[in-house]
């Protein structure tokens, strides 16, 4: 029996390590670049699953391992401070990473409308461009209920404005890519 208990302890150690790695990967995707030693991931055994905590707060369950990263990210996005995280870290990290990433979309595709290639060079032009791209994409969507909520529109406008500040112009191809990849 002693060997079985030791083997069970070994499995629990493996699960904790796996959960820590999963939490760390989810955090990294959100822009938090934390080492495992900088976060306290806990595991509480339930009958058919484990409950995972981050810095003492319930984060998610392991009932569906494939969904864990999605659940972790949703919980952290909802209230990062609850888990001892500073949301400003993500904003500054993501902005720095994303802006050069979006540059790859500037050329667009043949399927986009020609006006997508026109460059916006002022803040007011960016506001108009973002609204035009959103309206165009909603009108041409296969989804009859397609919509962009005001929170996503503001986030898109903020990202497009940051892009404008860094690269001095932005076009509809870039805004469209931002919309499809960043909107909920």
The 10s digit of each residue's pLDDT in 108-154 is 766 788 888 899 999 999 999 999 999 998 888 877 778 888 888 98
CA distance 174 to 168: 13
Structure-model confidence comparison of residues 93 and 146, the more confident one: 146
Average pLDDT value for residue range 19-34: 78
pLDDT for the residue numbered 183:
64
pLDDT for the residue numbered 92:
44
Q: And the tokens for 127? A: 């506001």
Q: Is the pLDDT of residue 88 over 80?
A: no
Listed by start position, the domains of the chain span 2-85, 95-182
Structure-model confidence comparison of residues 100 and 53, the more confident one: 53
pLDDT for the residue numbered 85:
81
pLDDT for the residue numbered 5:
38
Confidence tier at 176 by pLDDT (50, 70, 90): confident
pTM given for the model: 0.48
């Amino acid at each position: 029996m002693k060997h079985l208990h030791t083997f069970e302890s070994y499995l629990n150690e493996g699960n904790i390590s796996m959960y820590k790695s999963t939490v760390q990967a989810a955090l990294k995707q959100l822009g938090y670049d934390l080492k495992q030693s900088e976060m306290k991931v806990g595991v509480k055994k339930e009958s058919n699953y484990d409950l995972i905590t981050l810095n003492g707060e319930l984060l998610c369950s392991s009932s569906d391992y494939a969904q864990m990263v999605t659940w972790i990210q949703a919980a952290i996005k909802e209230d990062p401070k609850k888990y001892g995280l500073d949301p400003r870290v993500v904003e500054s990290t993501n902005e720095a990473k994303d802006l050069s990433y979006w540059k790859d979309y500037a050329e667009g595709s043949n399927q986009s409308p020609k006006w997508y290639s026109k460059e916006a060079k002022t803040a007011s032009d960016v506001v108009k461009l973002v609204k035009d791209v959103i309206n165009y994409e909603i009108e041409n969507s296969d989804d009859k209920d397609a919509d962009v909520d005001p929170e996503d529109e503001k986030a898109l406008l903020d990202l497009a404005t940051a892009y404008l500040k860094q690269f001095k112009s932005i076009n509809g191809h870039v805004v469209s890519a931002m919309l499809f990849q960043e909107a909920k």
